Amino acid sequence: MNQLLIFDQRDYVIINQNLNVLQRSTTAQKFAESPENLIPGQDIRLSFPELIGLERILTQILNKKQELFLLETIARNVNHNSHLYFNLLIKKLENNLIIFLEDTTEIILLKQSLVQQVNEAEVLLSTLKRFEDCTKKILTSMGDVLLITTPSGEIEQINQAAKKIFGYNQTELAKKTISFIIKNDKFNHQKIYDYLLKNRNKVQKIDSICQTKTGESREIEFSCSIVQTEIKEFFNCVYIGRDITARKQAEAEILQALQKEKELREIKSRFISMASHEFRNPLSSILIASNFLAQNKNNISQENWNFYLNTINNAAQNMQSLVEDILVISQTEEGKLTFNPTLLNLNKVCQRIIKELKITANQKNISFSTNVEHLVIWSDKKILKLIINNLLSNAIKYSPQEEKIDFKILYISEKEIVKIIIQDYGIGIPVEAKKHLFDSFYRANNVGDIPGSGLGLSIVKKAVDLHGGKIELDSKLGLGTTITVILPVNNQSC
């Protein structure tokens, strides 16, 4: 949780559903009415009595019936001569509530000071009455950045905050339009101005990407309004904005972290489901066969003896294959799977794999063809076999016993690539499953009782990436699947 909050520069307090403090930022106590009560386990209302009577609103936020609640300009007596002003924003955080505390003392004091100056100016300089509307609106909308433009968008005035954020001084921006600062493609000053001219008492809010003098992008939340100038019916446009770059970055990183956490939970769940099934079956076979042999070692025929030994051996091989697949995935995730390309005769490698599968998988109906008799490519033999073995094994596994498997090698000389095409006529892949096929431990929902780890295509994808290649997939549910692996022929530095 701390990692999710470090990006927000405001102080905060996290409370549970019973309104008890769970966690707070290190300097949150300065906002409390009674700082000594702002500790884990204590009722938040002891420290922030402003929350008394708001319990129904807090419950609505917890129940997602209300997104947030904002209390503005809360005052605390720091000592006899000074006050602390702050805003209090309440939002839901997982099953709890988070209270953001924003120190607005400087802004409030600045507003008070400006109000005082305006009042003095009204007394001393009655001739400046025509600027009253402009002053009031600036005071009402005051933020970090102030830009005043002509009706055509030409910048006339900026404040110190604008100079600091954008890096330009008044002279550098003279005669420049507002589009010099705001770089959004959809931004249209004239459209905003025309709208405000028709709705003079309204303020329009826009979020815009602005470019600084150094080329850096900053995201600014602007409040736009128009103000009367000394010329009757001639209005300037006022852009008052707050830099929300850090907030947007924090939100994006939080969402990214949450998505990553979700993906990890899904992988963990799929792994546990796969392991409990794929390890349990061979272990059960080994246990049953070994117990039978132990109990009947003196009165068992050689044929049965060999049968149960083969059962144990096959189960052990299945487990070993699964463990090896998991190790391959682990090595690729950690960047430890070495890739050492050498010159290989691709056709010979493929024919060798087919011969092995005809023995181990009892698959006699693999149709192999190639458009080049002797095709030599740069590849890592071990990793190349991972690709072909997994694709052929999947085609065999998800096809009827005697159904044909088409296996083609196509060399395309003008592009210096080779296509490895494996087509089956089996169960096919559902449309909704295609986007997850290369995720570790993922299996489509139409595989039924067909055994498998969900690692085959994930391994293939990572192996193809090591070659600098790509994968194409075409599948129709109930009709079969065609997978095409495209590899460079002469890439020695994958």
Q: What is the pLDDT of residue 133?
A: 59
| pTM beyond cutoff 0.85 | no
Euclidean distance between the first and the last CA atom of the chain, given in angstroms as a whole number: 40
Grouping H, G, I as helix, E, B as strand and the rest as coil, residue 459 is helix
Name the nearest CA neighbour of 180 among 154, 150, 151, 144: 154
Grouping H, G, I as helix, E, B as strand and the rest as coil, residue 419 is strand
Contacts of 421 (CB under 8 A, 6+ apart): 406, 407, 408, 409, 410, 482, 483, 484, 485
Q: What is the pLDDT of residue 139?
A: 42
CB atoms inside a 10 Å sphere around CB 119: 10
Question: 391: part of which helix (H) or strand (E)?
Answer: helix 381-397
Architecture of the domain made up of 2-103: 2-Layer Sandwich (3.30)
Which fold, 342-488?
Heat Shock Protein 90 (3.30.565)
Contact by Cβ (8 Å): 263, 272? no
Q: Token pair for residue 65? A: 């019936």
Cα(15)–Cα(40) distance, integer angstroms: 9
In the DSSP assignment, the letter for residue 242 is E
Grouping H, G, I as helix, E, B as strand and the rest as coil, residue 147 is strand
Q: What is the pLDDT of residue 4?
A: 44
Architecture of the domain made up of 126-243: 2-Layer Sandwich (3.30)
Q: What is the pLDDT of residue 430?
A: 82
pLDDT tens, residue by residue, 375-393: 888 888 888 888 888 888 8
Residues of the chain with pLDDT under 70: 1-9, 121, 123-143, 260-284, 314-337, 360-364, 440-442, 445-446, 448-449, 451-456, 491-494
Cα(291)–Cα(287) distance, integer angstroms: 6
Contact by Cβ (8 Å): 13, 21? yes
Cα(469)–Cα(463) distance, integer angstroms: 9
Name the nearest CA neighbour of 460 among 409, 366, 384, 380: 384
Cα(484)–Cα(412) distance, integer angstroms: 13
Beta bridge partners of 420: 409, 485
